[in-house]
Chains A and B, each alone.
Chain A
Amino acid sequence: MTREQFIQRLLEVFKEDTSDVFSNGLEKGWLEFEDQLYRDDVITRKNIARIIHMYLLKQKRIPDLQDISKAGELRDIYDCRVCAKHVAQIYLRGIMGAKELSAKGGFLWFDLNGEDDDHSIEEYLIRAYGITKEIG
Chain B
Amino acid sequence: MNQDRPSSITDKRIRFDSFSGTEDALFPSKKQRLPAMGWNSWNAFGSGNTEDLTKAMVNKIKELGLDEYGYKYVVLDDGCYRPERVNDHLESDPVKFPSGFKAMADTVHAAGLKFGMYNDIGDRLCSGAEVGIYKHEKIDCEDYINWDIDFIKVDNCYYMWDNATFSNPENAIYSYAPNIKLISLAGTTYSAVKDAEITGTRASVKDDYVTFIGTFDGTAPDHSPVGTRSSELVFEVEIDEPNVYELVVSYASGKEEGVGRWLQIAVNSDVVFDEMLPETESPETFTDSAPIKLKLVSGFNKIRIMNHRRQENTLNSYTEIRKELENFGKDRDIVFSICEWGKTQPQNWGHNVGDSWRILNDITFQVGADGNNGTAAWECDYTTSITSQYNKAVIMDEFAGLDKGWNDPDMLVIGMDGITETMCKSHMATWCMMNSPLMLGMDLRRVNKSDWMYNLITNEDLIALDQDPLGVQAKRIFTTFKCDDPSTEYIRDNNRVDVLAKPLSNGDIALAFFNLKQEEHSDKISISVDRIINSIGHKLTPSAAENFKNAASYQLKDLFTKECKVTSDKSFSIDSISACDCVVYRISPLA
Contacts and interface: CB of A to CB of B under 8 A. Distances in A.
A45 to B, nearest CB: 13
B530 interface: no
Contact of B366 (A26, A29, A68, A113): A68
A32 B127 CA distance: 11
Contacts of A122: none
A82 B81 CA distance: 14
A20 interface: no
Contact of A78 (B82, B127, B128, B361): B361
A121 interface: no
Nearest to A112: B166
Interface stretch (B180-188, B367-375, B545-553): B367-375
A64 B128 contact: no
Interface string B378-406: 00111110000000000000000000000
Given A34-B128, A34-B129, A88 B366 contact: yes
Contacts, number: 72
Contacts of B369: 29, 57-58
Interface string A35-79: 001100000000000000000011000001010110010000111
Given A66-B418, A85-B365, A34 B83 contact: yes
Contacts of A26: 95
Interface in B66-83: 78-79, 82-83
A88 B374 CA distance: 13
A104 interface: no
A88 B366 CA distance: 9
Interface string B47-66: 11000000000000000000
A84 B83 contact: no
A25 to B, nearest CB: 10
A32 B96 CA distance: 9
Contacts of A29: 48, 369-370
B162 to A, nearest CB: 13
A82 B126 contact: yes
Give the interface residue-count category, chain B. 35 or more
A80 interface: yes
Nearest to A58: B369
A69 B166 contact: no
A64 B372 contact: yes
A32 B94 contact: no
Interface string B563-575: 0000000000000
A66 to B, nearest CB: 6
Interface in A81-98: 81-82, 84-85, 88
B46 A82 contact: yes
Contacts of A32: 47, 79, 83
Given A32-B47, A33-B95, A66-B417, A82 B127 contact: yes
B558 interface: no
B439 to A, nearest CB: 15
A79 to B, nearest CB: 5
A69 B369 CA distance: 20
Given A66-B418, A81-B126, A82-B127, A88 B365 contact: yes
Interface residues of A, number: 24
B236 to A, nearest CB: 42
A85 B165 contact: no
B284 interface: no
A14 to B, nearest CB: 20
B165 A80 contact: yes
A68 to B, nearest CB: 6
A69 B380 CA distance: 8
Contacts of A113: 166
Nearest to A71: B365
Residue in A33, A57, A68, A113 with the greatest tally of chain B CB atoms within 10 Å: A33
A77 B364 CA distance: 12
A112 B4 CA distance: 25
Contact of B365 (A37, A38, A84): A84
Contact of B166 (A33, A79, A85): A79
Given A66-B375, A72-B381, A80-B166, A85 B367 contact: yes
A81 B382 CA distance: 13
B489 interface: no
B48 A85 contact: no
Interface in B410-448: 417-418
Contacts of A82: 46-47, 78-79, 126-128
A26 B365 CA distance: 23
B5 to A, nearest CB: 24
B365 A64 contact: no
B362 interface: yes
Contacts of B382: 72, 78
Contacts of A81: 78, 126, 157, 165, 361-362, 365
A33 B83 contact: yes
A21 B377 CA distance: 37
Contacts of A84: 365-366
Contact of A33 (B96, B361, B370): B96
Contacts of B367: 85
B84 interface: yes
Contacts of A38: 83
B93 interface: yes
A37 B372 contact: no
A19 B526 CA distance: 71
Given A33-B94, A80-B126, A57 B372 contact: yes
Contacts of A88: 365-366
A82 B569 CA distance: 52
26 contacts: A29-B369, A32-B47, A33-B82, A33-B94, A33-B95, A34-B128, A37-B82, A57-B369, A64-B366, A64-B375, A66-B418, A68-B366, A68-B375, A69-B377, A78-B382, A78-B383, A78-B384, A79-B166, A81-B126, A82-B78, A82-B126, A82-B127, A82-B128, A84-B366, A85-B366, A88-B365
Given A57-B369, A81-B165, 16 more contacts: A32-B47, A37-B84, A68-B366, A69-B377, A69-B380, A78-B361, A78-B383, A80-B126, A80-B165, A81-B126, A82-B46, A82-B127, A85-B46, A85-B366, A88-B366, A113-B166
